[in-house]
Each structure stands twice: as structure tokens, then as C-alpha cells.
Amino acid sequence: MFNLILFGPPGSGKGTQSERLIARYGLKHLSTGDILRSEIANQTTLGMEAKSLMDRGELVPDEVVIGMISAALDNNPQAKGFLFDGFPRTKAQSEALDKLLAQRNEAINVVLALEVTEEELIKRLLNRGLTSGRSDDNNEAVIRARIQEYHKKTSAVADHYQVFNKVVGIKGEGTVDDIFNALCEEIEKRMAA
């Protein structure tokens, strides 16, 4: 198996690059943001509880997303590997993920961290808000709150995996193709290892 975390702040291109990476490497894409938005669309209890937090740009509780990931791992026993997008997002989520993988004799192979300036993130998300229908995109205050949550809680995830030397920074500005190629180069180095 090959298990990859695509890491980075809101708007850094995780979703965009994930689509291409899963197509090339046959990995199962696990995006907690996408799962939560589908829970909202289906008006489930979980979705309704998550919605107000997401609309404010705040993280939903750890146990909620950890439960979603645990179920997804169970439901995909044949996967060649997983691409985690938007998860883990706190130190507690990182520790829970390591445990869930260890129970299956698996581990994270690499954390690829997209690096984008804050000015560019805000520009991209405001622009996406014109068409995405995402309620957390069309308000600059909410976008800034998401970036703040990232600095306050999520950057600790990179520190967690840095200890194991698993984090590689990738410049997340430039063309989508160039960034994709840089990601592929790092993945293939590690798949060969």
C-alpha cells in the first residue's frame, strides 16, 4: 500500500491535485471536507451538526472526522493505498490516523505539503466562491477564519510527521501541471524506495 497525506492550508490546491493523483496512482481519495459536504447535502444529523461550524470556518470535532476515516478504511479493504486530503487537521487526528493504520499494519509513507502565500489563498478562495456554492468561500472573514484555524491547530500536523522525516514541502504556486509534476516526482521516489 502507499498512503499519502496531501497537506496544505485552505485553497492550496489539495482537491485539485488529488483528482489527478488518484487517477495516476489508483489511490482511494479520502477528503473529510467532501464527506462532510455530502452529509450536509443529504441532511443527515452529522451533516446538520457540522454545518454551523463549517459555515464559520471552524473545525468540526476530532471524534467526528476520525470516525468517518475509520469507517472509510474499513469500507475499502481492497484499496492500493489512500490519499488523505484535509485530514488529519489536528495533532489528535494525526495520532488517531497513525493508530488506525498501525492496526492494519500500515503507515503514512509521505506528507506532501503545498506552500502558498496567504494573499494567493484568499484570492483563489474568493474567486472559487463566485461559482462553488460553498458557503465558506463567499465571505472573506470566513476564509480568514479558516486560515487562522490552520495556523492554530493544523500546522501541528506537519510538526508531528516532521519528527519521522516524512514531510516534503512543495511550492503550490504556478501552473497546476508543474505542481502535479513536482508531486509525482516525490511520490515516485518513495514508491521505488
154-173 residues in contact with ligand AP5 (CB under 6 A) are none
Q: Can you read off the three cell numbers belonging to residue 106?
A: 500500515
Answer with the entry of Mg ion, ligand AP5, none that 57 interacts with (C-beta below 5 to 8 A by kind).
ligand AP5
Nearer to Mg ion by C-beta: 114 or 187? 114
- On whether the CB atoms of residues 149 and 93 are closer than 8 A, the answer is no
Of the candidate residues 1, 23, 71, 176, the single one contacting ligand AP5 (CB under 6 A): 176
Q: What angle, 0 to 180 degrees and rounded to 10, lies between the N-to-C axes of helices 155-162 and 91-103?
A: 50
Please report, as residue ranges, which positions from 4 to 43 form the binding site for Mg ion (by CB under 5 A).
Answer: 14-15
Residues in Cβ contact with 89 at an 8 Å cutoff, skipping those fewer than 6 apart: 32, 59, 65, 153, 154, 157
Q: Which is nearer to Mg ion, 14 or 124 (CB)?
A: 14
Nearest to 119 by CA among 127, 129, 131: 127
Residue 3 or 32: the one with the smaller Cβ distance to Mg ion is 32
CB 174 within 8 A of CB 165: no
Under rule CB under 5 A, residue 169 binds Mg ion: no
Q: Which residue is nearest to ligand AP5 (CB)?
A: 33
Tell me the three state secondary structure of residue 7: strand
Catalytic-residue membership of 134: yes
Give the count of residues interacting with ligand AP5 (CB under 6 A).
Answer: 28
Q: Which of 20, 28, 134, 153 is catalytic?
A: 134
Residues with active-site annotation: 14, 89, 128, 134, 146
